[in-house]
Amino acid sequence: MQIGVYSGSFDPITKGHIDIIERAAKLSEKLIVTVLNNINKNYMFTLEEREVMVRECVKNIPNVEVVTFQGLLVDFMKDKGITLIYRGIRAVSDYEYELAMAFANDEISGGKVETIFIPAKKKYMYLSSTIVREIAMNGGNLSLYLPKNIEKKVEKKVKSKL
C-alpha cells in the first residue's frame, strides 16, 4: 500500500493545512498526519491539544490517520515502512527551509525517503499558524483562516493567556 506522511506543528491547524491534507490524501492510498514538536518553536497549544484539533478537522477523510510522534520523522517512517513525505510549500520564503529539511531527511534516511512538495492554493499562499496566532492575540477575526471549531479553541486559549 502506498502510504504518505504529512507532518507539522499545527499550532493551530489552518484551512491551508487542511487543503494540503485533502490533496495529499488523494495522492496516496493512506495518509498519516504526524503532529510533531519542532524544537525551534514555543507552542501555544500542547502536543495533545494540537493532535485533537487535527483529528477533528480530518475526521471525514476516510484514508487519513493522525498520530503524534517525538523524535525524527524518518525514524517514525522507517518503523512503519513509509517512504513518502508530503510538504505544503507556500511563497518563495518557505523554499530554503523546506529544501534544507528535504535534503536532511534524504541524507539521514540513507536515501530511503522522498519529499513531494504540494504548492499551497493561491488564497493560502501567505497563511501561516504564526500569522493566525498574531491575529488571535490581538483580538482579530480568524474566520478566513480557521474552521469554526478551531477558531473557538484559539479564542478560548487566548482568553486563558490574558
Annotated active-site residue 90? The verdict is yes
First to last CA, the chain: 47
Q: Does 7 bind ligand PNS (CB under 6 A)?
A: yes
Site for ligand PNS in 28-47 (CB under 6 A): 36, 38
C-alpha cell at 119: 504548492
Question: Cα(156)–Cα(153) distance, rounded to whole angstroms?
Answer: 5
User: Cell numbers of 101, please?
Assistant: 529539511
Tell me the C-alpha distance between 129 and 154, whole Å: 11
Q: Note if 9 is an active site residue.
A: no
Work out whether 104 is an interface residue with ligand PNS (CB under 6 A): yes
Catalytic residue among 50, 90, 109, 133: 90
Maximum alpha-carbon separation in the chain: 47
Q: How far is the CB of 97 from ligand PNS (least distance, A)?
A: 8
The verdict on 12 binding ligand PNS (CB under 6 A) reads: no
Q: Please list the active-site residues.
A: 17, 41, 90, 129
Residues of this chain that bind ligand PNS (CB under 6 A)? 7-9, 36, 38, 72-73, 101, 104-105
